Amino acid sequence: MEQRAIRLRRRLRPVAWIVAVLCVAVLAATATARSTLLSPGFHQRVLDEQHAYDRLYNEVLVDPGTLPVTRDLLARLPVPEAAVTSNLKIVLPPETLRTMADRQIAEVTGYLRGEHDTLRLTVDLRPLLTNVGNLAQTYFGDLVASVQRQPEPDFPAFLADLGKSANAVAEGVPPAGLPTLELSRDQAVAATRALLQVVPDDRRDELRPEVEVALDSGDVASALAAVGPEAVSDRTRRATEQLRGTVGGDTWDITADLDTSSDALAPLHRARSVTHLAQGVVEPLAALLGVAALAFLWVSGPAAPARRLMGLGWALAAGGTLTGLCVVAARMATDDGVISTPASWPGSVSRLVDDLGSAAVDGVLTTATVAAYILLAAGALLVAVGWAWTTGPALTVRPRRAQMLAVGVAGAALGGVVLAPVAAGRAEPRVCQGSSRLCDRGYDEIAQLTSHNAMSTTADQFIGPLQDPHITAQLNDGVRALQIDTYTWERPEQIAERLEGSEFSPRLQGQILAAINKFNPPRDGLWLCHSVCRAGAIGLVPTLREVGDWLRAHPTDVVTLIVQDAVGAEATAAVFEEAGLTDLLFAPDPDPSHPWPDLGEMIDSGKRLVVFAERADGPASWYRNFYRYGMETPYAFRTPADMTCVPHRGGTDKRLFLLNHFITIDGGSRLDAGTVNTRAAVLDRVHACERERGSPVNFVAVDYLTIGDARGAVDALNAER
C-alpha cells in the first residue's frame, strides 16, 4: 500500500510541477493586467509621457488633414474659420481636456474591473460653455482691432488705440486710457460702421445713432460701452444655446451616441467579460492551485531537504522563464505597431495613436518583466541554497529550518508576483522639468526653452512687445528660463540717452519721447522694463513673487532668471529677500568649470531658482555673472539668413551655452518668428552651433514663443540627449 502511494506521488509530481509553473505565470499575468490595463493611473501616465494633450493642439488640430473635422466640431461657435485653431485653447483649454479624459478613463477601467455593470461615458459641458464667453470676447476684440486698416491721415493711430480699448472692454477690464482725436464727419461714420459689425443685425440700426454721435463728439467711452456688451452677450448666448441643443443639455452622453454607431463599444464589452473571468475565477483559482502544487512538490519530494528546496526553486524559476518568454513573444508580435490606423486618417493622428499604443504595450510588458525577474530571483535563491547545502560539508541546516526557508521564499515570490506589478504599474514616475527622463541629467546637460525679454508682453501692454502671454502663462507654456531687464524709472534726461542705444527706430524714438511724459509719468521703485520704462513696465517685486508662487505650485521644476541688470547687486538681493525667494535660490559652485548637479539633486534640495546677471557677480553667492558660467551667440540678426554661431559674450569654453534665436528689426519681428521658431529651424540651428562649438545648447532664447514650435524642438533635444 505504501509503495503504491509512493509511486502515485512520483507520477503526480510532474503534473504538480507543470501546474505550479502555469499557475505562477498566470498570477504574474493577471497581476500585471490589474496594475496596468485596469488602473486609471497607468493610462493617465501614458497620456502624459507621450505629451498627448500638447500634441493634440500643436500637431493634430493644425494638421491640414484634420482641419475639416476641427471646423465641423466648432462650426456652432462664434469663430471664423481662419481663427479656429488659434482660439481652440480658449474653448477647450488643456486642463479642461485633461479633466474630461480622466473621467472617461476612470469610468472605463471601473467597468472593466466590474465595479459597475453599465458603462456611461459623459462629458460635463459647463466648463466649455463658460469658455465660450471668453472666446466671444476675444473674437469681438479681434474685430474691433481690424478697423486699424483705415487709410485716413492720423486715423490709423486713433483706431489702433480704439482697438486696444475695445479689447479691454470686451474682456471686462476698464481700459487704462481712451484714445482721443477730433474726427471728421466721414471718419466718425467710418468708425461707427466698423464697430457695428460686431453686434447683431437687428441691433445695429438702434445703436448706430448713439455710437455715431459719441464718436462724432470724441466720446469713445460711450461708443464702446454701447457696442461691447451687445457683441459679447449675443454671441455667447447663441453659441451656448446651440451646443446645449446639440447634446441635449449641459451633459453630453457619449455612450448613447457610440451605441448607435454600429455598436462601437462591442470590443469593450467583450474585454469586460474576459477581465471579469480573470479576476473573479482565474486569478483566485491559480493562486489556490499554485500554492497546493508547490506544497505537494515539497511534501512529495526527496528525503533530503536540500533537494526539495532545489525542486521548488526550479518550479519558480520555470514560472519566471515562462513569463519572460511570453513577454519576448509579445514584444516580437508588436514590433510593427499595436494599432493599425486607416490610411485615410491624418498623419498626425496616426502617429499619436501609434505612440500611445506602443507606450501602453511597453508599460504592460515592462511590468510583466518585473514579475518574471522576481520569480527567477526567488527560484535562483532556492536552487543556490539547495546546491550549497548538498555540496558544502561545512553547511548544516536543520530540516525544520529548511521548511521555513522554503515556505518563506516561495511565499515571498508569490506575493511579489502579485504585489510588485501593482507597485510597478501604479508608482508615479519621478518627473523633473516635466519629464521622467531628465532627473538624472545635469543642469548643464539639458536644453531649456528661454523667453527673451520675458517681461515685455502684449498682456502687460508694452510698446513693441516681444512676447504675448504674461510671465506665469509663459512658464505654463513650457518656458524654464526667463531673460528679464531690471530698471529704475528713468528721469527725463535719461530717456533720450537710453533710446539712443535701444532697438527702436529713430522715428519710433521720437514718437515715444513725445508721448511718455504726457501718458506715463515717473514712478518710484524697481521695475522690469525694455529699454524705456515709460514704454512698458511691470513691478519687479510682484513679478518675482509671481515666479516664486509658480515654483511652489510646481515642486518638480527648476527656473532660471538671466537678468540684464541696470539695478545694483545689493538692491537686487534685497528685492529677492522682500519677494520671499531666499529659500528657493540656488548657489552655483564658485568654480565655473565645475559640473552642475543633476536636476533631481537640485529639486530634492529645494533650491530651484537659478539667478544670473549680465553685469554683476555677487556679492550674494546665488547671484553670479552669467558670462563666467556661460557663453552665447550674437543676437542682432536682421534676417534668418544672418543667423550664425560665432562667439559673442562669454567666449567659447563655458559649460552653459545660450543660443539667441530671434530676429531684431527695429525691435522684435513677429513675422520672422513664424520662420525661425519652427521646430525644424530651431533644431537645425542648435545642431549646427553644437557641432561648431562642441558643447550642448542649454538655453534656446526666442521671441514670440507662442508662435511656431520652439518648445517641441527643446523637448526633442532633451529626448536626443
pTM over 0.75: no
Between 38 and 632, name the one with better pLDDT.
632
Instruction: Tell me: do 530 and 414 sit in the same domain.
Output: no
User: How buried is 185 (Cβ within 10 angstroms: 0-12 exposed, 13-18 middle, 19+ buried)?
Assistant: exposed
Among 185-194, 247-256, 377-386, the minimum mean pLDDT is found in 247-256
Q: Which three cell numbers stand for residue 149?
A: 486698416
For residue 122 the three cell numbers come to: 459623459
* Number of structural domains found in the chain: 3
285: left (phi over 0), alpha (psi -120 to 50) or beta: alpha
Q: pLDDT tens for residues 266-285?
A: 777 777 888 878 887 888 88
123 three-state secondary structure: strand
β-pair type (609-613, 481-488) = unpaired
Binned at pLDDT 50, 70 and 90, residue 16 comes out as confident
Q: Which residue has the higher pLDDT, 226 or 170?
A: 226
Least confident window among 71-85, 572-586, 611-625: 71-85
Segment 623-664, tens digit of pLDDT: 999 999 999 999 989 899 999 999 999 999 999 999 999 998
- 285 within domain boundaries: no
Most confident stretch, 137-146, 155-164, 567-576: 567-576
455 occurs within a structural domain? yes
- If asked whether residues 585 and 488 sit together in one domain, one would say yes
Best mean pLDDT range from 93-102, 261-270, 542-551? 542-551
Asked if 419 and 458 sit in the same domain, the reply is no
- Lowest mean pLDDT across 80-94, 204-218, 419-433, 575-589: 80-94
Q: What is the mean pLDDT of residues 368-379?
A: 85
* Gap between the Cα atoms of 521 and 490, Å rounded: 10
Q: What are phi and psi of 183, to 5 degrees?
A: -90, 145
Query: How confident is the model over 169-187, as a mean pLDDT?
Result: 58
Judge whether 127 lies within some domain.
Answer: no
Separation of alpha carbons 479 and 482, rounded Å? 7
Residue 169 has pLDDT above 70, yes or no: no
Residue 252 lies in a domain: no
CATH of residue 612's domain is 3.20.20
Do 75 and 199 have their domain in common? no
| Distant-in-sequence, close-in-space partners of 498: CB < 8 Å, separation ≥ 6 | 490, 531, 532
455 with 409, same domain: the answer is: no
Do 455 and 586 fall into the same domain? Answer: yes
Residues 238 and 319 in one domain: no
List the one residue out of 583, 653, 650 whose CA is nearest residue 612. 650
Whether the per-residue pLDDT at 400 is higher than 60: the answer is no
Condensed to tens digits (0 to 9), the pLDDT of residues 219-249 reads: 665 676 566 656 555 555 555 565 555 555 5
Alpha-helical (H) ranges within 344-488 are 347-391, 399-426, 471-476
In a domain, 119, yes or no: no
Query: Which of 122-133 are b and which e, b meaning 16 or more Cβ less than 10 Å from the residue's Cβ?
Result: bbebebbbebbb
In a domain, 669, yes or no: yes
Decide: residue 141, CB within 10 A, 0-12 exposed, 13-18 middle, 19+ buried: buried
What grid cell was written down for 572?
Answer: 537686487
**Range with the poorest average pLDDT among 14-28, 89-103, 228-242:** 228-242
Asked if residue 357 and residue 489 are part of one domain, the reply reads no
pLDDT value of position 83 = 41
> Which of the two residues, 354 and 121, has the higher pLDDT score?
354
By residue range, what is the domain housing residue 208?
133-247
Looking at residue 290, its pLDDT comes to 80
Within 8 A by CB and 6+ apart from 555, the residues are 603, 608
Beta 526-529 vs 481-488: how paired, if at all? antiparallel
Q: Is residue 48 part of a domain?
A: yes
Show the 3-state SS of 14-62. HHHHHHHHHHHHHHHHHHHHHHCCCCHHHHHHHHHHCCHHHHHHHHHCC
**Residue that wins the pLDDT comparison between 173 and 248:** 248
Higher pLDDT, 389 or 296: 296
Q: Are residues 402 and 458 in the same domain?
A: no
Same domain, 493 and 569: yes
Instruction: Pick the more confident residue, 140 or 374.
Output: 374
The pLDDT value given to residue 295: 81
pLDDT tens digits along 479-510: 999 999 999 876 656 666 666 666 556 765 66
8 A C-beta contact, residue 666 and residue 416: no
The mean pLDDT of the chain is 77
> Do both 377 and 524 map to the same domain?
no
Kindly report, residue by residue over 303-361, the tens digit of the pLDDT. Answer: 777 777 787 878 888 888 888 898 888 888 887 766 777 777 788 788 888 888 888 88
Tell me: do 313 and 380 sit in the same domain: yes
Assign 17 a pLDDT band (cuts: 50, 70, 90): confident
What percentage of the chain carries pLDDT values higher than 90? 28
What pLDDT, on a 0 to 100 scale, did the predictor assign at position 148? 32
| pLDDT at residue 380, rounded to an integer | 81
Pick the closest to residue 560 from 497, 507, 502, 626 (CA basis): 626
**Residue matched to cell numbers 461707427:** 192
Kindly state whether residue 261 falls inside one of the protein's structural domains: no
